[in-house]
Amino acid sequence: MKILSYLSTYLFYALMIDAVIMLLAPRWWVFHLFINFVPQFALAGLVVFTLLLLQKQFKKAVVLGIALLFFSVPFVFQVYASPPPVFSNSMKDEAEGISIYHINVNRINREYDRLIESIMTESPTIVTLNEMDSEWFANTRDALDGLYPHVIDFSSDGYRGMVIFSKIPIQFFEQQNFSDMSPPVVRIAFAEPSFTLFTLHALSPISAVWASERDTLIQLLAQEIQDTPGTIVVAGDFNTTMHGSILRNFVKSTDLLDARSGIGWEPSWMRGTILAVALDHIFYRGNAFVGDFRVLDDVGSDHRPIVADMYFPT
Residue spans of the domains in the chain: they are 2-81, 89-313
C-alpha–C-alpha distance, residues 308 and 91, integer Å: 17
Residue 89, pLDDT score: 62
Residue 250, pLDDT score: 96
Query: Which neighbouring-strand residues pair with 162?
Result: 130, 154
Ranges in the chain, pLDDT < 50: none
Residue 226, pLDDT score: 96
C-alpha–C-alpha distance, residues 103 and 119, integer Å: 10
CATH 3.40.50.300 fits 89-313, yes or no: no
Residue 262, pLDDT score: 80
Sequence-ordered list of residues with C-beta below 8 angstroms from that of 235, at least 6 positions apart, any chain: 100, 102, 128, 197, 198, 199, 281, 282, 283, 306, 308
> Residue 250 CB: number of other CB atoms within 10 A?
22
Segments in the chain forming alpha helices (H) = 2-23, 29-35, 38-54, 58-76, 89-93, 112-122, 134-144, 208-226, 245-254
For the question of whether the overall pTM of this predicted structure is more than 0.85, the answer is: yes
In 3D space, the residue among 125, 155, 130, 121 whose CA is nearest the CA of residue 141 turns out to be 155
Residue 259, pLDDT score: 92
C-alpha–C-alpha distance, residues 206 and 217, integer Å: 16
